[in-house]
């Protein structure tokens, strides 16, 4: 009687710890890459990869969208993982993860197990004191939240993931799939990583240095340098940086930055920065009852008159007129990424001169 061939040895073992109200997409994208790499086609047998959802009590864990995941392994029965992944989610004034889980993470780190923070899982690792001295990746959307909590740290918010020795952090979303593909390529092979992403309708594996997507502009940036510059602009709306400072942080001459913006977006960095700040002001005007002064300051303008002058020059109407228009026109028109009143109420925008080289920030 012929004995069945032994199954290949597992090459990658992952343990997951899910925070209360974790981000389902980040978890699912990461797991699906593992699932598709673990077997032929998409048969989903955990042959080359294995993964477990850990918990101290095995109670179902709710995601931020309400769907619950049932853990399959108790902390006391777990072990032997190549990586431990902490998946974060909603940020609030509550404990997103149990004390038992935090103790487990610290013990794993002490034992030399590499740690991965997905989405706001980086917040959990930072609060546990496990990212001190490490570079870490935070979504551009949560950049300010991170600074508010950890004012001595400077996160990386213009890359999809960051690898620093035995710590890996990821901005979330599709970035989780690319980080998982990186691990699959490292432990199983490039063909397995490519197969997983292709089945998930993702064309190419992206390296961690690829820029994060951010707040939409009228035209999507294609140049990686321009994308990183725009992300830094988005992260510094309240206190705008000068274009010289942006160029210095990106390690390029100012003229190079301006030339790349012109080639990619047909606009100067100053014009793009101003669009982002006005866009934020318009969103605040139509979605809140905040005072014009507070909105102006939150969007990098000196005061309410400064915001009013800028909006009048760029859009042909003042903040007060814009708010009034929104209350009477629920179905506004979208143009350049912001809600604009009907044409009869808005004047023509005044473009900046093509040769704009003002060294100050927009506005």
CATH code for the domain of 65: 3.40.50.880
Distance separating alpha carbons of residues 331 and 85, to the nearest angstrom: 43
User: 72 and 124, same structural domain?
Assistant: yes
Q: Is residue 69 part of a domain?
A: yes
CA 233 to chain centre: 15
Rounded to the nearest 10°, the torsion over CA 43, 26, 176, 336 is 120
Length in residues, the chain: 363
User: 171 and 70, same structural domain?
Assistant: yes
Q: Is residue 340 part of a domain?
A: no
3-state secondary structure 7-33: CCCCCEEEEEEECCCECHHHHHHHHHH
User: 22 and 107, same structural domain?
Assistant: yes
Taking only the tens place, the pLDDT of each residue in 199-217 is 887 766 655 555 545 445 5
Taking only the tens place, the pLDDT of each residue in 33-90 is 999 999 877 778 888 999 999 999 989 999 999 999 999 999 988 878 999 999 998 8
Helices (H) and strands (E) in the chain, counts: 13, 11
Domain that holds residue 279: 224-326
The DSSP element (H or E) to which 87 belongs, if any, is strand 83-87
Cβ-contact 242, 362 below 8 angstroms:
no
Domain count, the chain: 2
Q: Is residue 152 part of a domain?
A: yes
Q: Is residue 312 part of a domain?
A: yes
- 169 three-class SS: strand
User: 181 and 46, same structural domain?
Assistant: yes
Distance separating alpha carbons of residues 324 and 320, to the nearest angstrom: 6
CATH code for the domain of 246: 1.10.10.60
User: 283 and 156, same structural domain?
Assistant: no
User: 161 and 247, same structural domain?
Assistant: no
Taking only the tens place, the pLDDT of each residue in 280-310 is 898 889 878 889 999 999 899 999 999 999 9
User: 170 and 85, same structural domain?
Assistant: yes
Residue with tokens 């007060």: 320
Q: Tell which residue, 57, 106, 67, 113, has the closest CA to residue 89.
A: 67
């Amino acid at each position: 009687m012929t004995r069945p061939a032994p199954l290949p040895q597992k090459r990658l073992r992952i343990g997951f710890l899910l925070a209360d109200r974790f981000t389902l997409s980040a978890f699912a994208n990461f797991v699906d890459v593992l699932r598709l790499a673990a077997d032929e086609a998409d048969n989903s047998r955990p042959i080359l990869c294995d993964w477990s959802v850990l918990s101290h009590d095995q109670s179902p864990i709710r995601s931020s969208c309400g769907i619950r995941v049932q853990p399959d392994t108790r902390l006391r029965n777990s072990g032997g993982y190549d990586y431990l992944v902490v998946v974060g989610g909603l940020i609030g004034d509550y404990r997103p993860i149990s004390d038992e889980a935090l103790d487990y993470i610290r013990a794993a780190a002490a034992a030399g197990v590499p740690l991965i923070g997905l989405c706001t899982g980086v917040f959990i690792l930072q609060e546990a004191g496990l990212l001190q001295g490490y570079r870490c990746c935070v979504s551009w959307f949560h950049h300010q939240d991170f600074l508010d909590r950890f004012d001595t740290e400077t996160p990386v918010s213009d890359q999809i993931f960051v690898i620093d020795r035995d710590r890996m952090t990821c901005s979330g979303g599709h970035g989780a799939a690319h980080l998982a593909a990186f691990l699959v390529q490292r432990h199983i092979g490039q063909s397995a990583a490519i197969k997983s992403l292709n089945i998930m309708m993702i064309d190419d594996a992206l390296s961690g240095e690829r820029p994060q997507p951010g707040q939409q502009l009228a035209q999507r940036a294609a140049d990686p340098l321009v994308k990183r510059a725009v992300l830094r602009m988005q992260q510094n709306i309240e206190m705008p940086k000068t274009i010289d400072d942006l160029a210095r942080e990106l390690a390029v001459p100012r003229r190079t930055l301006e030339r790349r913006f012109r080639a990619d977006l047909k606009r100067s960095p100053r014009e793009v920065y101003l669009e982002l700040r006005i866009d934020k002001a318009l969103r605040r005007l139509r979605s809140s009852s905040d005072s014009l002064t507070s909105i102006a300051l939150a969007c990098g303008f000196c005061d309410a008159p400064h915001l009013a002058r800028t909006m009048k020059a760029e859009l042909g109407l003042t903040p007060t007129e814009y708010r009034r228009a929104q209350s009477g026109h629920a179905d506004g028109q979208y143009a350049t990424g912001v809600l604009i009143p009907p044409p009869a109420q808005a004047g023509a925008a005044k473009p900046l001169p093509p040769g704009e080289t003002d060294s100050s920030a927009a506005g």
